[in-house]
């Protein structure tokens, strides 16, 4: 779990803000448990009052259920970051809304995940310090009991070149797709039950989600790590 530790003195000192305009102090969004991991995403934005400006965000706390991937991925106006990145500093050159989004990997499981981010203007941290709280509430929805009949397995995990796929013999799979942690599709193949593996050797190292689309209209997903 990524946790950015700050002293009590720091938290008490940075009480005021004003140079950055935020859309909200906290965000709470609900998702259906059938939502693929790549779609558990909460958007947020802020706007600088003057530019250019150096802005920094820091990951303060991550609290997710044990059944989820024990981490979260942060995307700012520059790029998205993996699990080892706890902060980033960058320049905003335009006076318009700048994104700061959080991705949760819930592994198809219900629960509530919380991420807290600190953000401030580097040159004026005392006046621009802000804590933004992201809460993802993933609940069971219609058709969730059907998940009990799905036997989707991907292995080896981590994978280097080949990712094997195991499904029930009676499942009619139409297509398989692979997404990176920001939800971008990086691989897609029409699939029949004779296809038991995927070539992932060209993928960059990181966490991905493989999603199977069934002819019944359902889809199920599982995360894996590419070494």
pTM higher than the cut 0.75: no
- Residue 10 has a pLDDT of 37
User: Does residue 174 register a pLDDT over 60?
Assistant: yes
Percent of the chain with pLDDT over 90: 13
Residue pLDDT, tens place only, 115-162: 999 998 888 877 778 889 998 888 865 333 333 445 567 888 788 999
Q: Give the pLDDT band of residue 95 (cuts 50, 70, 90).
A: confident
User: Does residue 81 register a pLDDT over 90?
Assistant: no
- Residue 56 has a pLDDT of 94
Instruction: Between 10 and 106, name the one with better pLDDT.
Output: 106
Residue pLDDT, tens place only, 40-64: 888 888 888 888 999 999 998 899 9
Instruction: Between 197 and 15, name the one with better pLDDT.
Output: 197
- Residue 151 has a pLDDT of 59
Q: Which residue has the tokens 């990712």?
A: 163
Counting Cα atoms < 13 Å in the Cβ hemisphere of 194 gives: 0
User: Does residue 2 register a pLDDT over 90?
Assistant: no
* HEC letters along 36-98: CHHHCEECCEEEECCCCEEEEEEEEEEECCCCCCCCEEEECCCCECCCCCCEEEEEECCCCCE
Q: Give the pLDDT band of residue 11 (cuts 50, 70, 90).
A: very low
Q: Which domains does the chain have, with CATH numbers?
A: 8-139 (2.60.40.2040), 150-226 (2.60.40.1930)
């Amino acid at each position: 779990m990524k946790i950015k530790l700050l002293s009590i003195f720091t938290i008490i000192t940075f009480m005021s803000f004003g140079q950055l305009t935020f859309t909200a102090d906290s965000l709470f969004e609900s998702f259906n448990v059938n939502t693929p991991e790549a779609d558990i995403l909460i958007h947020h934005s802020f706007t600088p009052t003057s530019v250019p400006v150096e802005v920094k965000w820091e990951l303060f706390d991550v609290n997710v259920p044990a059944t989820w991937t024990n981490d979260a991925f942060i995307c700012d106006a520059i790029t998205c970051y993996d699990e080892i990145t706890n902060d980033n500093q960058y320049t905003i050159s335009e006076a318009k809304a700048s994104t700061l989004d959080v991705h949760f990997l819930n592994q198809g499981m219900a629960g509530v995940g919380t991420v807290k981010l600190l953000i401030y203007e580097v040159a004026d941290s005392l006046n621009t310090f802000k804590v933004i709280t992201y809460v993802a509430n993933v609940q069971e929805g219609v058709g969730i009991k059907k998940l009990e009949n799905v036997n989707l397995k991907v292995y080896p995990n981590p994978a280097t070149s080949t990712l094997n796929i195991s499904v029930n013999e009676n499942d009619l799979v139409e297509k398989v797709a692979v997404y990176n942690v920001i939800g971008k599709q990086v691989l897609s193949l029409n699939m029949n039950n004779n296809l038991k593996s995927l070539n992932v050797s060209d993928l960059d190292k990181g966490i991905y989600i493989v999603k199977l689309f069934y002819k019944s209209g359902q889809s199920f997903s599982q995360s894996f790590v590419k070494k």
